Structure 1
Amino acid sequence: MNYYNSKLSYNLFKKKKSMKKIVLITTFIALSMLSANAQTDKGFKINGDLKNYTNDYVYIGWWYDGKLNKDSAKVTDGKFSFKGSVVHPIRIGMSQKRAGDFLNLFLENSDIQIVGDMKSLNNVKITGTATEDEYDAFQNITKKARTDYMEVLYKRDEYKKRKDTTGFYSFDDELTNVKNKYIQSQVAYIKNHPKSYVSLWLLPRINQMGISYESLKDVYASIDDVLKKTPIGVSVAKGLAKRSVTAIGAKAADFTVASLDGKNVSLADYKGRYVLLDFWSSNCVPCRRENPNIIKNYNKFKSEKFEIIGVSVDTDREAWKKAIEKDKLPWIQLSDLKGWKSEVAVKYNVNALPANFLIDPDGNIIAKNLKGKELQSYLSKLFSK
């Protein structure tokens, strides 16, 4: 998309003979301009002109502080308009029939023009919003990393459509690599643009993509204090505080949960040993695929005061039991069968599987989410000291 900033020109005044008149007129014009700017600051105006728009209404919506804001406008010959105000620049969606955004943009308190054709949405021009210009620059800066990431996702999904699970999961390592590069490209943008509302918008996105606690904490510290005070900024700060409980270096939270045979087991029972706290479930395909690798490492290092505690977020005892037997898991298995409300999962802020935490003999978390070759490499270095 191409953008430009419209400029207004004024015929300020005609030549006057009296200096006094010039001063008075200049003062009047300055006050008028301040007044005009004040009006702009009070709200936004969106004027749209979209060819081949076939619905009677167009809708916009955006989330702010946990509340969905929405509005609609009558469309006549492709033309429509909105008026309102926002607290600060914010990403919004524009849709037809209240379903599926066909256009997204940054809304701010300014005069915004949207011109284009519904048959060529990639060429729609959005002007009058400086934050959208910043977003366009961000898209250009991160284009390669984003494209690489999306291409791997597309290739992997082709195998999913064919129900080829082997092919689908063969992309795991490549996907992790390109995803991390895409996350880092966004982190770099945020650090280089600490006052941008595009940077603020990116924070929850990279969090959802799986950025580490340490990296998110670092990039959050780099943004401007004004952004930190917004609802998004406050929410990210709360999330960081919650995640700090399971940060590397934090003390692992103790727990007591029943094992498969009904005995109560506590993390404290394993003090003095290295423990891999492994979260999984019987219906988690990536977890089940990783189990042979965990078994191999367990057998290799169990003589080094290394133990594994499996914690399942299952709700079905029989399914859990069958999965343990089928995968031939030799270490202790725990579950309160409460699913995602599991006491241990909640304490460790686990909201995606597989997940694991490596805990040292003193009860400190020293690593997280080790899998594949990374697990073997880490344990080999740890026990070669």
Structure 2
Amino acid sequence: MSKFRIIIAICLIISSFNSCKDENKVTIKGEISNLDYPYVIVTHFSTDVLTVDTLKIGNKGQFNYRTSIDTLTIFTFYFNNYNSSAIVFADKGEKISIKGDATLPDLIQVNGNEINDDLTLFKKENEALLKQRAELLNNMKIDRMENTNQGILSENEKIVRLNSLNHELTQKAEDFVRKNPSKIASVILINNLFRDTENPTTLERVLKYLEGEASNFPLTEDLRMHCNKVKLSAEGAHLPYFQLVDTKNDTIRSIDFSGKYVVLSFLSASDKESKEEINVLKNEYNNLNKDSVQFISIYIDSEKYPITTISNDSIPWITVAEKKSWASDIVKTYNIHYVPYNILISPDGTIKRRNIPAHEVKKAIANGAKWS
């Protein structure tokens, strides 16, 4: 073989190699406004390894990200020092674009393949609703940070308004899923808007709409398993068994309180709302028959352990400081996503009320006693 032919062969091999490398590349270009930091953080998993990259941004919030992947991958872009984020679905060889406002992450538009395009279409069709919800959430966040109340609505009115907007949004999402049962975007919407629902029957209902590719998608199976798990601690279910060690180093078990009403309260030692919740629970507790009721407060702070402020609250009932915090078994078993959070359990071990307000505990127990 002549040298010329050898050179040509080598060039073809290199060209072929580079072509294969390019086929595995994904390019994601973005333009995000209202960025307070000169960088964007992007993360994704590759063969079970979390990759974290920092991207510099241009004067107009522009950035460009290029990496190699071999299958459909979920990228998370974090803005303003992790205060907001956007999810991108991308496969090898694709070119994806991101555009939007960092202060309105739910409205950030992602385009470049069917999943992103479908999700962006849903956002556009419900832009007014999503914008109202985002602005209300931002307002409530400022209230918590500054310990004030912004705007004409009271805190309770804002919560009622947020619940109303969330309900309307889930209705829109369910309608989308019903009309698009085989789209992967339907699975993503179910995961985003129905996964943390208090009522597992709602999640179960929307999952039944899925067909074809969407029904067989790995996330769908995860959602089905999650739904079955949530049922175990839903209203009407028998309380899942638990065993805990309280702050007196005594072991307590769920079966120890058979025949009594049990109020499980999940709290934070450093959270203002939890401290207010304790005061209301104390008032309720003082007006109940201690022989027929047992309160148990479970502190799940992640920043400090051991928790030293429990004793300062002078709580007259059982308290538990969970070492594993949000990763603890009881938090997972009872499907707890935020604090304060109360669960009322009847003397026969049935979960009567989830997320019951502290000031309704006495009334709910009184009504339960009448019904039994």
**Normalised-by-shorter TM-score class:** 0.5 to 0.7
State the match for 2:354 in structure 1.
Answer: 368
Mapped partners of 2:74, 2:290: distance in 1: 54
Distance in 2 separating the partners of 1:63 and 1:156: 32
Matched, 1:162 2:146: yes
**TM-score, structure 1 as length reference:** 0.63
Distance (Å, rounded) in 1 between the aligned partners of 2:265 and 2:248: 18
Q: Distance in 2 between matches of 1:100 and 1:219?
A: 30
Alignment of 1:248-287 (within 5 A): 248-287=235-274
Measured at CA, do residues 287 and 228 of structure 1 come closer, stay the same or move farther in structure 2, by a change above 3 Å? farther
Is 1:187 the counterpart of 2:167? The answer is no
Give the 3-state SS of the residue equivalent to 1:356 in structure 2: strand
Structure 1 residue identity aligned to 2:276: R
> d(CA) in 1 for partners of 2:359 and 2:160?
10
- SS at structure 1 position matched to 2:252: strand
More off after superposition, 363-372 vs 178-187: 178-187
Q: CA deviation at 1:138?
A: 0.8
Instruction: Tell me if 1:308 matches 2:295.
Output: yes
| 368-377 or 193-202: bigger deviation | 368-377
Alignment counterpart, residue 231 of structure 1, candidates 194, 202, 218: 218
8 Å Cα contact 1:275-1:307 kept in structure 2: yes
Superposed counterparts of 1:1-385, under 5 Å: 62-63=44-45, 92=75, 106-107=89-90, 129-164=113-148, 171-206=158-193, 210=197, 212-224=199-211, 226-302=213-289, 305-313=292-300, 315-323=305-313, 325=314, 329-330=315-316, 332-335=317-320, 337-340=322-325, 342=328, 344-371=330-357, 375=361, 378-379=364-365, 381-385=367-371
Deviation at 1:370, TM superposition (A): 1.1
Runs of 5+ unmatched residues, structure 2: 1-22, 32-39, 55-61
Task: Confirm or deny: 8 A CA contact 1:65 1:232 kept in the other structure.
Answer: no
Deviations 1:291-340 (A, max 9, x none): 233334334554794432223336325322113x1xxx33x213255241
Q: Is the 8 A contact 2:111 2:120 kept in 1?
A: no
Give RMSD over aligned pairs. Answer: 5.0
Counterpart Cα distance in 1 of 2:203 and 2:323: 30
Letter in 1 for 2:354: K
Letter aligned with residue 148 of structure 2: D
Max Rg structure: 1
Name the CA shift for 1:86/1:216 in 2 (closer, same or farther; >3 Å). farther
For residues 265 and 176 of structure 1, what CA distance do their matches in structure 2 show? 36
Q: 1:49 to 1:350 in 2, by over 3 A?
A: closer
C-alpha contact (below 8 Å) 2:183/2:213 kept by paired residues? no
Identity of aligned residues (%): 16
Report the Cα distance in structure 1 between the residues aligned to 2:243 and 2:77, rounded to whole angstroms: 50
Is the 2:98–2:109 contact (alpha carbons within 8 Å) kept by the matching residues of 1? Answer: yes
Change in 2 beyond 3 A, CA 1:81/1:159: closer
SS across alignment from 2:143:
helix
Aligned with 1:275: secondary structure?
Answer: strand
The match for 1:22 is none
Contact in 2 for aligned 1:276/1:358 (Cα 8 Å): yes
Asked whether the equivalents of residues 280 and 311 of structure 1 are also in contact (C-alpha less than 8 Å), the reply is yes
SS where residue 334 of structure 1 aligns?
A: strand
C-alpha separation in 2, matches of 1:211 and 1:251? 16
User: What residue identity is the alignment partner of 1:333?
Assistant: I
Instruction: Give 1:143 deviation, angstroms.
Output: 2.6
Per-residue CA shift, 1:162-187, capped at 9, x if unaligned? 34389995544443443344344333
8 Å Cα contact 1:145-1:185 kept in structure 2: no
How many residues align structurally?
328
- Between 1:177-186 and 1:160-169, the stretch displaced more is 160-169
User: Aligned partners of 2:223, 2:98: CA distance in 1, in Å?
Assistant: 35
Report what 1:36 is aligned to: none
Corresponding residue SS for 2:343: strand
Distance 1:216 1:303, change over 3 A: same
Structure 2 CA distance for partners of 1:304 and 1:178, relative to 1, 3 Å? farther
Cα distance between partner residues in 2 of 1:348 and 1:372: 18
Q: Distance in 2 between matches of 1:194 and 1:220?
A: 9
In 2, distance between residues paired with 1:112 and 1:263? 58
Distance between the aligned counterparts of 2:307 and 2:127, measured in 1?
47
In 2: Cα distance, 1:59 partner to 1:269 partner: 49
Verify the 8 A CA contact 2:75 2:89 in the aligned structure 1.
Answer: yes
Alpha carbons of structure 1 residues 351 and 66: separation in structure 2 relative to 1, 3 Å: farther
In the superposition, the TM-score normalised over structure 2's length comes to 0.65
Matches of 1:229 and 1:214 in 2, distance apart? Answer: 20
